């Protein structure tokens, strides 16, 4: 009897220790990132890349071998954005998309600030490429080469086919835009967003997978700074990582 009780206690102890180490591996032992506008903690397995300079920048986190990204886009709020509806443009695009479904929207709280959230499911890579087409439409009037390119390529369907068959077109598009690391040039929000969308398309084409893709967007303002947070990945990786991402979001501190 004593032997059985001892085995049971040993089993319980092993379960307890495994539980503790599992929690530590998942999140407690984490890295920290901070800049002049926010700070957060993130899993040690995630790799970080910072693009842009000054207040306008975006930070990308990924985990090697897994198909997901967590991005925070930081930029200064302009006068025209004070009263903007964050999702109005997205809704307009979603109505055009055959490859996009809105699955959730509402409010969210980040470090005491009330923001808005939106969750989408998209067919990949078609949805990503289609999104790039509409993003290029926004800036075509500022770039003659992009305007001529879109006129030449024709419809959205033709654009999707061309990019899927000739991914080097993405490098040509990026070459038209000003360098994101040029400190002597003030890169505006649409240019910065275009870079982010192009990188997202490249990422999907390099993975060479087709399927369903999920994205969660959060927008929150703190004084004169806007934070756009995006978590995206294939459906499996998204569902596996959404809890960890929520833990990251819970650590965010927005600087006054």
Q: Is residue 72 part of a domain?
A: yes
Looking at residue 177, its pLDDT comes to 81
What's the structural domain count of the chain? 1
Q: Which helix (H) or strand (E) element contains residue 147? A: helix 144-153
Return the closest-CA partner of residue 62 out of 77, 42, 92, 88. 42
pTM equals 0.62
Domain range enclosing 103 = 32-254
Give the β-pairing of 46-53 and 253-254. Answer: unpaired
CB 159 within 8 A of CB 133: yes
Q: Please give the C-alpha separations between residue 177 and each of 138, 191, 195, 199, in angstroms, as whole numbers.
A: 13, 7, 8, 13
Q: Pick the residue with more confidence: 211 or 186? A: 211
Q: Is residue 1 part of a domain?
A: no
Q: What are phi and psi of 24, to 5 degrees?
A: -65, -45
Count H helices and E strands in the chain, helices first: 8, 10
Q: Is residue 248 part of a domain?
A: yes
Return the closest-CA partner of residue 226 out of 105, 110, 107. 110
- Tens of pLDDT, residue by residue over 61-72, are 999 888 889 999
CA distance 217 to 196: 14
Q: Is residue 44 part of a domain?
A: yes
Q: Predicted confidence band at 17 (pLDDT cuts at 50, 70, 90)?
A: very low
Q: Predicted confidence band at 87 (pLDDT cuts at 50, 70, 90)?
A: low
Looking at residue 3, its pLDDT comes to 46
CB 173 within 8 A of CB 136: yes
CB 58 within 8 A of CB 52: yes
Residues 133-156, mean pLDDT to the nearest whole number:
91
b (16+ CB within 10 A) / e for 4-32: eeeeeeeeeeeeeeeeeeeeeeebeebee
Length of the chain: 256
Q: Is residue 21 part of a domain?
A: no
Looking at residue 14, its pLDDT comes to 38
CA distance 111 to 160: 39
Q: What CATH number is given to the structural domain containing 197?
A: 3.40.1000.10
Q: Is residue 22 part of a domain?
A: no
- Tens of pLDDT, residue by residue over 205-242, are 887 667 888 989 999 999 889 999 999 888 899 999 99
Q: What are phi and psi of 102, to 5 degrees?
A: -85, 125
Q: Predicted confidence band at 180 (pLDDT cuts at 50, 70, 90)?
A: low
Q: Is residue 73 part of a domain?
A: yes
Q: Pick the residue with more confidence: 201 or 2? A: 201
Is the pLDDT at 6 greater than 50? The verdict is no
CB 6 within 8 A of CB 12: no
Is the pLDDT at 19 greater than 90? The verdict is no
Q: Is residue 23 part of a domain?
A: no
């Amino acid at each position: 009897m004593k032997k059985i009780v001892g085995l049971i206690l040993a089993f319980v102890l092993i379960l307890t220790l495994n539980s503790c180490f599992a929690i530590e591996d998942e999140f407690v032992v984490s890295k920290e990132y901070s800049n002049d506008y926010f700070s957060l903690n993130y899993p040690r397995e995630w790799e970080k890349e910072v693009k842009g300079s000054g207040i306008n920048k975006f930070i990308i986190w990924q985990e090697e071998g897994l198909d997901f990204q967590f991005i925070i886009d930081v930029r200064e709020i302009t006068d025209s954005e004070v009263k903007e509806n964050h999702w109005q443009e997205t809704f307009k695009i979603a109505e055009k998309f055959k490859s996009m479904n809105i699955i959730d929207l509402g409010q969210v709280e980040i470090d005491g600030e009330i923001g808005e959230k939106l969750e989408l499911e998209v067919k990949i890579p078609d949805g990503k490429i289609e999104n790039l087409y509409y993003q290029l439409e926004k800036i075509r009037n500022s770039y003659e080469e992009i305007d001529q390119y879109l006129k030449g390529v024709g419809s959205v369907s033709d654009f999707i086919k061309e990019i899927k068959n000739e991914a080097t077109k993405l490098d040509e598009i990026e070459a038209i835009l000003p360098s994101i690391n040029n400190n002597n040039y003030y890169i505006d929000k649409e240019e910065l967003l275009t870079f982010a969308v192009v990188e997202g398309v490249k990422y999907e084409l390099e993975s060479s997978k087709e399927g369903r893709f999920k994205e969660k967007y959060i927008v929150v303002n703190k004084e004169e700074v806007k934070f756009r947070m995006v978590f995206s990945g294939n459906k499996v990786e998204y569902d596996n990582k959404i809890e960890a991402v929520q833990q990251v979001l819970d650590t965010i501190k927005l600087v006054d």
